[in-house]
Copies of this chain bind each other. A is one copy, B any other.
């Protein structure tokens, strides 16, 4: 499908893309860059790329498709670094979990002969790094592409076909719209999990130890989410400020109302709210998005031998 694909950053997403490309034979050559020697050594050992570089500028040379797979806070500097070295007609994409901020950070640095099409595979596990990837990560999950209004249709079609060949369903959206939907479905749930675990972390020692002892009654699952990579999530919240604050505002308003119902013993109102939320669940089952295992957006990583 492509002569040469360059992966900038080889963590969970970069390494999974490599496995998925190998599985479906999507690139004659895979080039990769990683900042640490440890990661470059892992990439070589696992055969995740045919060419391994320290600098992104070297990896992108001659590539038809370049995908940024580092935290979104690095994209501005990376775009500046690679812009002069991108091939004529190359497609530049990314895997970043926010999209409008990525457009703002990357687009200004690019020459007109590059097709910039931001993307976001909605798939992950609780692990990170080059050893954590696997070919099936994107199978049956959504990848959202957020091309700019003047995007080249053929390039968008090609990138869409690429993700489909990696196993994903593809949806096209405006960047800001993506950010709002993900703020609700993913960023707010993660923020709340971080927050509730933070509240417990601040408890007096003996209370905390009891909470830990009885954590299996619900709290434990929040701690798994709140163990997600701090760099990635810091970058997500900083770069999706507007949408996160908007939905967080609604959430806290609703929580204040709930608090009042509890304080004033308004059982009927609580009962009504708790009944209404069941309808949302039913819609999710009808939409075929249900699965018996809770996963908070994560696919279980396959057992390695």
Within the complex, the shortest CB–CB distance from A56 to chain B, in Å, comes to 22
Q: Which of B180, B250, B252, B284 contacts A220 (CB 8 A)?
A: B284
Contact with B along A46-57 (1 / 0, CB 8 A): 000000000000
**Known contacts A227-B278, A267-B238; is-contact A181 B210 (Cβ 8 Å):** yes
C-beta contact mask, A250-273 vs B, less than 8 Å → 1, else 0?
111011101101110101001101
A165 at the B interface (CB under 8 A): no
**CA of A247 to CA of B241, assembled, Å:** 26
Q: Is the CB of A231 within 8 A of B199?
A: no
- Tell me how many residues of A have a C-beta within 8 Å of chain B: 96
Task: Report A144-182 residues with CB < 8 Å from chain B CB.
Answer: 180-182
Annotate A90-127 by CB proximity to B: 1 below 8 A, 0 otherwise.
Answer: 00000000000000000000000000000000100000
Q: Which residues of B contact A180 (CB under 8 A)?
A: 207
> Which A positions have Cβ atoms within 8 angstroms of B?
73, 122, 141-142, 180-182, 184-186, 188-192, 194-203, 207-228, 230-231, 233-235, 237-238, 241, 244-245, 247-248, 250-252, 254-256, 258-259, 261-263, 265, 267, 270-271, 273-281, 283-284, 287, 289-297, 300
